[in-house]
Amino acid sequence: MKILFVASEVTPFAKTGGLADVASALPKTLRTLGHDVRIMMPFYSVVERGGMAVRKGRKSASVMVDGVEKKGFLRQAALGEIPVYLIENKEYFSRDELYGTPGGDYPDNAQRFSFFCRCVLELLKKMDFRPDIIHCHDWQTALIPHYLKHERKNDPFFARTGIIFTIHNLAYQGLFPREELSTMGLSKECFTIDWLEFYGKINLLKAGILAADIVTTVSENYCREICTPEMGCGLHGVLQTRKDDLVGILNGLDYEEWNPAMDKEIMKNYSHASLSGKMVDKIGLQRLMGLASAPETPVFGMVSRMVAQKGFDLIAELLPEIAKAPMQFVMLGSGEERYVKAFTDIKAAGARNVAFAAGFDHSLAPKIYAGSDMFLMPSFFEPCGLGQLIAMRYGTVPVVRRTGGLADSVFDPRDNDKTPNGFVFEEYGAEALWEAMNRAITAYQDKAFWKKLMRRGMSSDYSWQNSVHKYLDLYRKALLRKGGEA
């Protein structure tokens, strides 16, 4: 099949979250199965700053934005054997960040990404590349299925192209004032409850959900959760109308990138068969982070954005207890100032068992995964989560809340129907999290049981090889609906 991925970020070109990893790893896995896979994304300044090899193309697209003609120029790079097409427009994409500054989103994001979506469709025709499947991701690409279903419904070039739309996080919907209709070149007829109107605003995610042939999200449990009023972010009714075409598929992990036997960033390599190197990594992490070298003291690690979604209100509440407990805690991340302050305050108060590194350090993250005994993810909601999958790959036992993809991948000793590989709590509260952490600390004393948990996580297969075939089944289903050959 000819498959085009369209995403606003792709590793290693540009990344703010897990979307970029999926938009890189899934195409690579599809390519190994012999499919003609290509990727389109914006050409951001960060791509240039990152020193990626990008060459200029000869093709361009002219798009009307708010009554003014804007040009998108095609550049090309490669992800292994996969062509990556980057759409250049300095006015829209030559900026320091992808979506906004710490002060908020860029005010012209509606124009930026409607321009990008229109350029994608124009350039495909100029390239004479007609995909069997266009796989779009999140609100930044949601106008592509909308344009194809409404504006281009009679365009023979796309008549047999199936459209898959993946929601990576329902909380981010692409909400804009009604006045942006004209800047995006959309007619007033679009602004109805059956298209993209949402409580008096434009909702681009809604447009993608309603227009795509098949809608997916990034875990089976999250797929069920978002159809409820509690977790549906106001779109549960819209999603229920697509329930027959709504599918949850757990994201995979790039096992070439995340491999403790080969990882060059960690202190000592180790494997499922030989775990001795993990203790070297633990002691190395303790020393690196200024903690006491204590082989028998359990180390909890976190690598995360410091936001409420990730459970940091619970962590902040528990920090005084953590500081007194027989454990160590290593945190890497950045985010809301109140959570950063909680860590700096506890350190200033004299806590010797808490280490905090602000920001994101690509070299430190794998050292935390390898050197920790437990990995914390107390998320309020978590569409998929990759941290728990990486942790298990490195023999680090996850302690998580039962939500989204965490519920699909981490199983507690109390779960009688599952083989345990971690510790899970149900109620979103500090007391429930603390109880789970203490159960993990107690279990850590039983070395034979703990090694079973470690090896069970390391031997689990959460690679893309499992999920890729589920996507291929959906691609075939969408293609058959359009009269194409699967």
pLDDT tens string 243-265: 999 999 999 998 988 999 999 99
Quick one: pLDDT band at residue 360, thresholds 50, 70, 90?
Answer: confident
pLDDT score for 184: 87
pLDDT at 58: 83
**Nearest residue to 303 via CA among 324, 290, 285, 325:** 285
Mean pLDDT of 223-242: 96
Q: In this structure, are residues 38 and 3 in contact, taking their beta carbons and an 8 Å threshold?
A: yes
pLDDT of residue 362: 86
Q: How far apart are CA 241 and CA 258, in angstroms?
A: 38
Q: What is the pLDDT of residue 99?
A: 96
* Residue type at position 211: A
What the chain holds in terms of domains, given with CATH numbers, is 2-252+465-481 (3.40.50.2000), 276-461 (3.40.50.2000)
Q: What is the pLDDT of residues 374-409, one digit of tens each?
A: 999 999 999 999 999 999 999 999 999 999 999 999
Question: Shortest CA distance to 184 belongs to which of 11, 66, 89?
Answer: 66
What is the pLDDT at residue 247? Answer: 98
pLDDT at residue 417 above 90?
no
Name the phi and psi angles at 298, rounded to 5: -65, 135
Residue 112 has pLDDT above 80, yes or no: yes
Residue 65 has pLDDT above 90, yes or no: no
Q: What is the pLDDT of residue 486?
A: 58
pLDDT-derived band at 485 (thresholds 50, 70, 90) equals low
Write down the pTM of the prediction: 0.93
Name the percent of the chain lying above pLDDT 90.
87
Say yes or no to pLDDT of 156 above 80.
yes
Tell me the per-residue pLDDT of 301-349, one tens digit each, with 9 for 90 and over: 999 999 999 999 999 999 999 999 999 999 999 889 999 999 999 999 9
Mean residue pLDDT across the chain: 95
pLDDT at res. 102: 76
Lowest mean pLDDT among 97-101, 295-299, 426-430, 443-447: 97-101
Check residue 256 and give its pLDDT.
87
The stretch 41-48 carries a mean pLDDT of 93
Structure tokens at 142: 């949601």
What average pLDDT score do residues 174-191 get? 90
For residue 187, name the pLDDT band (cuts at 50, 70, 90).
confident
Q: How far apart are the first and last CA of the chain?
A: 8
